């Protein structure tokens, strides 16, 4: 993101050196657009085009479920790019779920019921 873009789209707040919020509850009520471009949830456009609908991914998540077309608009991407990310994420989830879901339990030496 260029410095010119930040200067145009973000307010001169907070003062330099002000620590950014650490919890969602601390940042949810702050003015938008988000003044913390270093935050990993910050949605900032690298282009000089129009700013995103949201400046924070957590704001978008708070609004609930979104269609692929809405996500594409929020992120300034194409529907196909969002679908590719969705497919990759689902593939990672499937791979993770194939592993052990819980630690193995030692077998009991005594039968559960005695006859």
Predicted TM-score of the model (pTM): 0.55
pLDDT at 4: 46
Q: Average pLDDT per run of 10 along the chain, which is 115 residues long?
A: 48 68 84 81 67 79 90 88 93 83 56 51
Neighbours of 18 (CB within 10 A): 10
Boundaries of every domain in the chain: 30-98
List residues bridging with 56 in a β-sheet. Answer: 42
70 touches 82 (CB < 8 A): no
């Amino acid at each position: 993101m260029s410095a010119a873009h930040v200067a145009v789209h973000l307010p001169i707040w907070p003062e330099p050196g002000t620590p950014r919020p650490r919890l969602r509850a601390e940042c949810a009520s702050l003015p938008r657009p988000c003044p913390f471009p270093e935050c990993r949830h910050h949605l900032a456009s690298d282009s000089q085009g129009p700013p995103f609908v949201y400046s924070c991914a957590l704001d978008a998540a708070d609004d609930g479920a979104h269609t692929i077309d809405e996500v594409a608009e929020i992120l300034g991407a194409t529907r196909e790019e969002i679908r590719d990310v969705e497919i990759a994420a689902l593939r990672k989830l499937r791979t993770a779920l194939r592993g052990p879901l819980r630690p193995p339990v030692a077998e009991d030496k005594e039968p559960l019921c005695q006859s």
